Amino acid sequence: MTTSIVPASDDDVLIQGITGRQASFWTGMMLRAGTPVVAGASPGRGGRQVEGLPVYDTVGDAVAHHQVGTSVLFTPSSATRDAAVEAMEAGVRRLVLLAEFVPRHDVLSIMEVARRTGSRVVGPNTAGMVVPGTHSLGIMPGFSNEVFRTGPVGVVSRSGSLGTLICLELVSAGLGQSAFVGVGGDPIVGTTTREAIEELADLPGTRAIVIVGEVGGVMEEDAAEAVSKLDVPVVAFIAGRSAPPGRRMGHAGAIVTGGRGTAEGKVAALSDAGAVVANTPRIAAITVAGALATDDRMNSSARSA
């Protein structure tokens, strides 16, 4: 059985590469958000401390002293495969891979080990994920109540920045998130948009889903079939509608080739599946708020009938 995407509230977290400058900074941010980070691992740096947390030489050493459920990897792309495999072989079952441009054959190798061990991989090239109130994993401003707040909307995004903007607009509209999952912008990722929306739709408290997609790949089209089966309203925003074919826009996976992965195709597939496709992040948030308000009125009328 594959591990869930979203961690439980008591799921303890390890930071691989914690002694690096960016990792140290974001470890502090994760702790300020209330994330239960318990340790770090950096080869040759065992015995040190970062933000008051113990640092171990290996993941194996860390899990011998702590009950680690999730590891966030602040590793360069060239080292991500070995670090991910080390974590899974040590028994860590949920990984957040932040590095961009991880070689495709390395990702395939990581996923083979994930299938064998029942592990869940989010990324690579993800900004991370947030469960408001319990976990901010990666390089997400989860400490800010203006961006992430407990609420009824599950958000799935290939882009960390656009996903964060959507979450900000949701909070501005008086809503919040059950969880945010950044699936990542590389051509091959461990968790797909479809897998993420299916799990988020089943989270307690989720009453709507927002999909933030972009040109390139077919994840949004693949997710459309799942959208048609959900019992909650779905709103989507597709970035890069003006991207010329054959030119990468932002993420490594944001490129239209061979007539596949166009914005038009994604909009059509999601619309046909019953999602409302908004033209801007702000309109997406307003649309979600309207759908939930309508649902509340219908439920209130049903109860009074």
DSSP codes of every residue in 25-85:
HHHHHHHHTT--EEEEE-TT-TT-EETTEEEESSHHHHHHHS-EEEEEE---HHHHHHHHH
Q: Are 286 and 221 in contact (CB under 8 A)?
A: no
* pTM for this predicted structure: 0.93
Among 55-59, 108-112, 146-150, the minimum mean pLDDT is found in: 146-150
Contacts of 229 (CB under 8 A, 6+ apart): none
* pLDDT of the residue at 243: 55
Q: What is the pLDDT of residue 260?
A: 62
Name the percent of the chain lying above pLDDT 90. 84
CA–CA separation, 170 and 289 (whole Å)? 8
Would the CATH topology of 12-122 be identical to that of 144-297?
yes
Kindly indicate the confidence band of residue 9, based on its pLDDT and cuts at 50, 70 and 90: very high
The pLDDT-based confidence of 246 (bands split at 50, 70, 90) is: low
Topology given in CATH for the domain delimited by 144-297: Rossmann fold (3.40.50)
Domain boundaries, the chain: 12-122, 144-297
251 is catalytic: yes
First to last CA, the chain: 44
| CATH tag, 12-122 | 3.40.50.720
Q: What confidence category does residue 261 fall into, taking pLDDT thresholds of 50, 70 and 90?
A: confident
